[in-house]
Copies of this chain bind each other. A is one copy, B any other.
Amino acid sequence: MRDKSKVKSQKSKAKSQTLKLDSRITLDYGSGGRKMHRLISEIFIKHFNNPILRKFEDSAELEIQKSKPDYCFTIDSYVVKPIFFPDSDIGKLSICGTVNDLAVKGAKPLYIAVSFVIQEGMSLPSLEKICASIANTAKSAGVMIVTGDTKVIERHSQDQPRPSRIKQEIFSYEQGRGEEIIITTCGIGKILPDFRNPTLSAKNINIGDKVLINGNIGDHEGAIILARGQFDFKARIKSDCAPLYGLIETLAKAKCRIKMMRDPTRGGLATTLNEIADAAKLGISINETDIPMQKSVKGISDILGFDPLYMANEGKVVIIADAKDANRILRIMKKHPLGKNSAIIGEVIRRKHGLGVWLNTKIGSQRPLLELEGFQIPRIC
């Protein structure tokens, strides 16, 4: 059933692309895909090299109190446009993204530092709305915002009005139009005792382990694509943006044995699974029919030619656990508000043809899910 020639060509393509970096940074280098990983390993790791950074995780494990890692430390900058989108905004996102990077390491988020880079001209009500959103999200995630910084940068003269075909009646995110803010959040979390020895890591996983996810994929990127108003759809997709610690704490309290977790944000589920498979030097196969997805996300991806497996999520966690523990973990996840659509979507396998991630399709074939070079290009472009 498998198309071997296609696999071979993709494999050799993947290999031939481990060449040198481009001479200038393009948007692809911020996509979460292979170009970004190469930038990280060939520039950042090269210069900043140390054992903690080399682990290539979204959070650094620190030894503060104990001689074993006990705290996690993470940073992320948020540059999303538009800054307001259905039921969420850049403020909520900037807290969720950072507390989730801590939570997936099994760490209870404690402290957040926030830095604002505001483009001059932002209205005070917009800034205040973002701050209220940050405050609410921080409260619901149980973290304290303890320090911050504010810079204001010059306005760029070319700010364009959005295309006329925007359906203003569909969304109420008009506030924020033409306004720009970059928010960087940095978080410190304390690793829960259950996840401390060993710490959650791709190194813990074995062939036969099950792969779980806590719900529908692609909602966040779907919401952003629609909120940009470049396409004339009547669909409404809400971002899944949510702090995940509550769900993870529930699993910890129930003494669920988890081997590793990761949040499939930029680059989506396929990219995250590739990172896990590469770190573990194993393979992962997932079943197309088991992957939870909203009809509206499936719809806009079909039309625009995006693959939802590569679309960003902001309230999802991929969990890997021993096969004998997976069903119990699934049951507990399904009872949590953020896990209603949880599913076991695949398992850990041996690498095949040197490639890490394989999709068992609806029609019974198997195709590799390569890491993208950069951004997805919609078919309509």
Contact = CB atoms under 8 A, between A and B. Distances in A.
A189 to B, nearest CB: 12
A182 interface: yes
Nearest to A184: B184
Interface in A93-125: 111, 113-118, 120-124
A65 to B, nearest CB: 5
Given A48-B134, A77-B117, A115-B76, A60 B147 contact: yes
A5 interface: no
A29 B153 CA distance: 10
A186 B75 contact: yes
Q: Per DSSP, are chain A's interface residues mostly helix, strand or loop, or mixed?
A: mixed
Q: How many of chain A's residues touch chain B, expressed as a range?
A: 35 or more
A297 to B, nearest CB: 24
Given A64-B65, A156-B158, A23 B131 contact: no
Interface stretch (A38-46, A196-204, A207-215, A245-253): A38-46
Contact of A118 (B29, B113, B148, B152): B29
Copies per complex? 2
Contact of A146 (B23, B53, B117, B123): B53
A22 B135 CA distance: 22
Contacts of A122: 24-25
Contact of A47 (B22, B46, B132): B132
Interface string A132-161: 101100100000111111111110111000
Given A64-B71, A111-B62, A158-B156, A25 B147 contact: no
6 contacts: A40-B150, A53-B144, A53-B146, A58-B147, A62-B111, A75-B113
Interface of A: 21-31, 36, 39-40, 43-44, 46-48, 50, 52-53, 57-60, 62, 64-65, 71, 73-77, 79, 111, 113-118, 120-124, 127-128, 131-132, 134-135, 138, 144-154, 156-158, 182, 184, 186, 188
